Amino acid sequence: MEITRRKIIIGAPAVALLAWSNPQAAHAEQVHLSTAGTLSPVTSAPFVSYSTDFRLEYRLDYPLYVTLQRPDPDPVEPVQVSVLYDGRLFDPSNSVVCSGPGNDFVSQEISAPQTTSDGRMALTFLIDGGRTDRAFVMPLVPKDLYPSENLGEVKPIDVSAGPSGAAASEVASMQIIARELDTGVLPWGIELRAGWNAIEAPLAGPGDLYRLPVIVHCQSVGPGRTSDQLQLEVVGDARLVTSVRVESAMVNGVAATSVLGTPSTESDGGRLRARFPLAALEAGDALTVELAFSPAAGVSTMRNVVFASVNLITPPEIVGQRATGLTMATDRSASGIPNEQDSAVGTI
């Protein structure tokens, strides 16, 4: 099972979104198309895709949580909300969380999406009437496009609201437009996978083995070369391992001792954390790293453990990284993930 950052964002409880009501937090390119009422994104999340040749980036700050302000509430009539969206980027959710009677929030059904004349998808749902302020969680789930996220120009998201059954009497609308960016950097990406081995450990409960990532594979998927500011981070339980070092590193099957720099190591909250500077990889390069760990001696029986992991650290200012969803591998032997050859495998 793969869990991407995008899924984590969408999978967060709707309650957390509803609890945050600062309109200044939204960053979408928003255009108000009518003034009788106001639709406003409270919080948004970025969705990035590319032109077909990867030269341009399209960034769509799609709204997660939207408020509707209307000066003349109808105490009886529900409000119908219509959403037009690019079906290449989003799937509809099964239902929508929106404001109900009083201060309650309820789950409402949404209509089956229909294709519009401009190639977008359209869905509708109802919000309870009788309030000047209403809110809803946007019923869109972003798709995982990788490795085909170079779709070309992105269509906008249009949201409108009006009395149920009277589409012509629209009271509020907004449009979210994707920004076209030329970052000057050809997008790049890495897929990381790990092979695991185990050492004996005095763990309470079933089993007495502690798994460590002894082989790390990094595949540069292009189309550009990777950033030279990346770090390969290895984490283990500081009570069980005292150090980690690189035994060998190969790029495309050839020894490449300089591809990984001298690590910085620290012990933080029971975690042994080593970060190795990683040199830039050309598109298509395959890096294989063999790691060695020094086990600790005289360890007492442990009732909890810090599971080992390996991941790529990217500085926040670095641009152009593709969302491969494969930049971290961790031992998940306690999560119910089936084992393969006595090792828990998986990526998050």
Same domain, 152 and 212: no
Give 121: exposed, middle or buried? Use CB within 10 Å, 0-12, 13-18, 19+.
buried
Structural domain span for residue 263 = 190-344
Of the candidates 181, 213, 238, which is a domain's last residue?
181
Same domain, 293 and 204: yes
Same domain, 173 and 251: no
Same domain, 124 and 27: yes
Same domain, 237 and 334: yes
Q: Regarding beta strands 140-142 and 38-50, do their DSSP bridges make them parallel or antiparallel, or are they unpaired?
A: unpaired
Which domain CATH number covers 77? 2.60.40
Cα dist. 274→231, 269, 326, 327 in Å?
10, 14, 20, 16
Same domain, 289 and 166: no
Same domain, 158 and 203: no
Of the candidates 151, 181, 211, which is a domain's last residue?
181
Same domain, 108 and 215: no
Total domains, the chain: 2
DSSP 229: T
pTM of the predicted protein model: 0.78
- The pLDDT of residue 75: 56
Same domain, 217 and 138: no
Same domain, 162 and 268: no
Question: Prior bond to 223 cis, omega within 30?
Answer: yes
Same domain, 220 and 159: no
Of the candidates 181, 207, 238, which is a domain's last residue?
181
- The pLDDT of residue 119: 94
Same domain, 47 and 161: yes
- The pLDDT of residue 163: 80
Taking the C-alpha atoms of residue 175 and residue 156, their distance in angstroms, rounded to an integer, is: 7
Residues with Cβ within 8 Å of residue 254, at least 6 apart in sequence: none
For the chain (348 residues), the mean pLDDT of every run of 10, in chain order, is 37 37 42 66 95 95 92 70 97 91 82 95 88 88 96 96 69 94 93 92 77 96 97 96 97 96 92 97 98 92 89 93 93 50 43
